[in-house]
């Protein structure tokens, strides 16, 4: 199975984790012990639950509706979901990701939220909201979203006389700005660069770009930038197209040309590229906003770094966007459904999402809070202004039933390309077939 850094399925992939229970006004647990007139809300992150707490207290004061917030760790969260569906023991509101939306909708237990929330949806970021639209119906209230990004080690960039703000990659060209800068950034212990006589790749002191098989940060944006897609509009895996093949081979070739860390090493350790960046040895790390907390906390004042858009392909820059949404469970009771609708409407508003934005727990779905999120990062010394415009055509996360399992089956096969055991032309069709088989 892929790691959470390889698939951006949720903010669990952002380094968030949770265990235990917090309450908006009272305390409750995942066993359904809340009073019958109290709404239960389930999330998978302690920090988010704490951020919600004050906001939900205000919600209770204004509506008289109590809310218990349950926190369940990521693995348990998805194991418990089908059990609660079968036992009709779901909470009233729960966090959802796109990979699990289709299966949960198929149970018939979710509320279509569009009729419940009115015009508040017009205030949300479209890229996040559209992930929860199915057949013109809205099934989730986006809470926060994330996108892929490029971070640069500014001291290495300055030494290489480079500009990471608008890098492009073109597999059909003999070289391109990304390869040129990655080559300038890469040095061995003697100061030689790839292509120089005597360059010793095994003794590299600095590295260029994080070309590794990370589904969210690298594979998704590069395939989309080439004009391909991970899945087609029906949710069928489609990454083994000619465009997808060109993108993946390009990335593997970067590693083979020593413009990125060795493919065999990044396959063996999917944190290698990030660790090299945190040590100040990697010039360009393509990651996601979900890693901002980890990077800022680890780098501190070790070296200056900056945030930029992802590397663009011939079809432009296409960061992968994912959003967490709050979904409502149909209680088969009009009064309780109305209360759930009030809670979902609140969670979609400024007051419901402000604590999340102030805590920097992902880009807020409500557009009015984007400046709040940006300012919160500025107070930590991080300029995220390059990410404050949502992409018009983002790369998409896993969507559809068993899509996460499909990607999990594909990634080990894709890894063989980076290990040099197969070409993209040979391995991607096998990876795609493995994904489709697992999906069905």
pLDDT, position 35: 61
pLDDT, position 345: 98
Residues in the chain: 440
Instruction: State the Cα–Cα distance between residues 411 and 422, nearest whole angstrom.
Output: 13
pLDDT, position 37: 84
Asked if 136 and 48 count as a contact pair (C-beta separation under 8 A), the reply is no
Token couple for 328:
């409502």
Put residue 199 in one of left, alpha, beta given phi > 0 → left and psi -120 to 50 → alpha. Answer: beta
Has residue 370 got a pLDDT over 90? yes
User: pLDDT tens digits for 207-245?
Assistant: 999 999 999 999 999 999 999 999 999 999 999 999 999
Phi, psi of 353 (to 5 degrees): -100, -15
pLDDT, position 225: 98
Summary mean pLDDT of the chain:
92
Query: Other C-beta atoms within 10 Å of 440: how many?
Result: 9
Instruction: State the Cα–Cα distance between residues 253 and 302, nearest whole angstrom.
Output: 31
Instruction: State the Cα–Cα distance between residues 398 and 149, nearest whole angstrom.
Output: 18
Has residue 168 got a pLDDT over 70? yes
pLDDT, position 3: 39
User: pLDDT tens digits for 7-52?
Assistant: 433 333 433 443 333 434 333 344 444 567 899 999 999 999 999 9
Which band of pLDDT confidence, cut at 50, 70 and 90, is reported for residue 2?
very low
CATH architecture for the domain at 147-320+395-439: 3-Layer(aba) Sandwich (3.40)
User: pLDDT tens digits for 352-363?
Assistant: 999 999 999 999
Q: Of 297, 268, 11, which is closest to residue 147 (Cα–Cα)?
A: 11
pLDDT above 70 as % of the chain: 92
- Distance, first Cα to last Cα, the chain: 16
H helical segments located in 88-187 = 98-106, 114-117, 126-129, 154-159, 177-185
pLDDT, position 36: 72
User: pLDDT tens digits for 384-409?
Assistant: 999 988 999 999 999 999 999 999 99
pLDDT, position 27: 34
| Answer CATH for 11-146+322-387 from 3.40.190.10, 1.10.30.50, 3.40.640.10, 3.30.420.40 | 3.40.190.10
Has residue 368 got a pLDDT over 90? yes
User: pLDDT tens digits for 53-62?
Assistant: 989 999 999 9
**Residue partners of 297: CB distance under 8 A and separation at least 6:** none
pLDDT, position 34: 56
Beta-sheet pairing, 321-328 with 137-138: unpaired
Give the domain ranges of the chain: 11-146+322-387, 147-320+395-439
pLDDT above 90 as % of the chain: 89
**Residue partners of 290: CB distance under 8 A and separation at least 6:** 8, 11, 13, 14, 15, 16, 146, 362
pLDDT, position 388: 86
pLDDT, position 177: 98
Has residue 306 got a pLDDT over 90? yes
Residues 351-381: b if buried by 16+ CB within 10 A, e if exposed: ebbbbbbbbbbbbbbbeebbebbbebbeeee
User: pLDDT tens digits for 416-429?
Assistant: 999 999 999 999 99
Instruction: State the Cα–Cα distance between residues 206 and 247, nearest whole angstrom.
Output: 24
DSSP string, 209-268: E--S--IIIIIHHHHHHTT--SB-TTS-B-TTSHHHHHHHHHHHHHHHTTSSS-HHHHHH
Q: Of 358, 343, 342, which is closest to residue 69 (Cα–Cα)?
A: 343
Q: Of 434, 65, 91, 100, which is closest to residue 239 (Cα–Cα)?
A: 434
In the DSSP assignment, the letter for residue 309 is P
In the DSSP assignment, the letter for residue 393 is S
Do the first three CATH levels of 11-146+322-387 and 147-320+395-439 match, i.e. the same topology?
Answer: yes
The pTM for the full model equals 0.91
pLDDT, position 5: 40
User: pLDDT tens digits for 66-101?
Assistant: 999 999 999 999 999 999 999 999 999 999 999 999
In the DSSP assignment, the letter for residue 379 is T
Phi, psi of 94 (to 5 degrees): -145, 155
Q: Which of helix, strand or coil describes residue 339? A: helix
Residues 187-205: b if buried by 16+ CB within 10 A, e if exposed: bbeeebbbeeeebeeeebe
Instruction: State the Cα–Cα distance between residues 376 and 384, nearest whole angstrom.
Output: 10
Which band of pLDDT confidence, cut at 50, 70 and 90, is reported for residue 145?
very high
Instruction: State the Cα–Cα distance between residues 228 and 258, nearest whole angstrom.
Output: 26
Which band of pLDDT confidence, cut at 50, 70 and 90, is reported for residue 336?
very high
């Amino acid at each position: 199975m892929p790691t959470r850094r390889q698939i951006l399925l949720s903010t669990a992939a952002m380094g968030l984790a949770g265990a235990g229970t917090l309450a908006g006004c009272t305390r409750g647990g995942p066993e359904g012990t809340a009073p019958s007139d109290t709404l239960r809300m389930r999330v998978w992150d302690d920090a988010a639950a704490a951020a919600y707490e004050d906001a939900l207290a205000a919600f209770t004061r204004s509506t008289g509706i109590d809310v218990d917030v349950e926190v369940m760790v990521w693995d348990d969260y998805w194991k418990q979901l089908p059990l609660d569906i079968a036992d009709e023991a779901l909470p009233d509101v729960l966090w959802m990701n796109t990979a699990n939306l289709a299966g949960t909708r198929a149970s018939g237990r979710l509320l279509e939220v569009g009729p419940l929330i009115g015009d508040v949806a017009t205030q949300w970021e479209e890229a996040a909201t559209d992930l929860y639209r199915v057949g013109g119906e809205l099934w989730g209230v986006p809470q926060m979203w994330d996108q892929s990004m490029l971070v640069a080690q500014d001291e290495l960039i300055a030494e290489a006389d480079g500009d990471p703000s608008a890098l492009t990659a073109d597999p059909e060209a003999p070289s391109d700005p990304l390869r040129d800068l990655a080559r300038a950034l890469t040095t061995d212990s003697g100061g030689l660069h790839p292509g120089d006589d005597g360059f010793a790749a095994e003794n590299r002191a600095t590295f260029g770009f994080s070309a590794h098989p990370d589904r969210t940060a690298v594979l998704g944006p590069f395939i989309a930038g080439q004009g391909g897609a991970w899945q087609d509009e029906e949710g069928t895996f489609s990454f083994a197209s000619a465009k997808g093949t060109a993108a993946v081979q390009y990335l593997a070739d970067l590693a083979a040309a020593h413009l990125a860390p060795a493919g065999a090493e990044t396959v063996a350790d999917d944190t290698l590229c990030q660790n090299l960046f945190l040590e100040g040895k990697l010039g360009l790390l393509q990651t996601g906003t979900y890693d901002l907390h980890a990077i800022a906390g680890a780098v501190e004042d070790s070296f200056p770094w900056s945030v930029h858009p992802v590397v663009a392909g011939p079809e432009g820059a296409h960061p992968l966007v994912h959003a967490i949404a709050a979904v409502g469970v149909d209680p088969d009771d009009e009064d309780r459904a109305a209360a759930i609708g009030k809670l979902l409407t609140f969670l979609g508003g400024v007051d419901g999402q402000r604590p999340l934005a102030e805590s920097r727990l992902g880009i807020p779905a409500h557009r009015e809070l984007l400046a709040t999120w940006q300012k919160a990062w500025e107070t930590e010394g991080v300029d995220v202004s390059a990410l404050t415009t949502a992409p018009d055509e983002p790369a998409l996360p896993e969507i559809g039933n068993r899509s996460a399992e499909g990607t999990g089956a594909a990634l080990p096969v894709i890894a063989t390309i980076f290990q040099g055991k197969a070409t993209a032309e040979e391995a991607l069709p096998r990876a795609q077939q493995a994904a489709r088989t697992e999906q069905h």
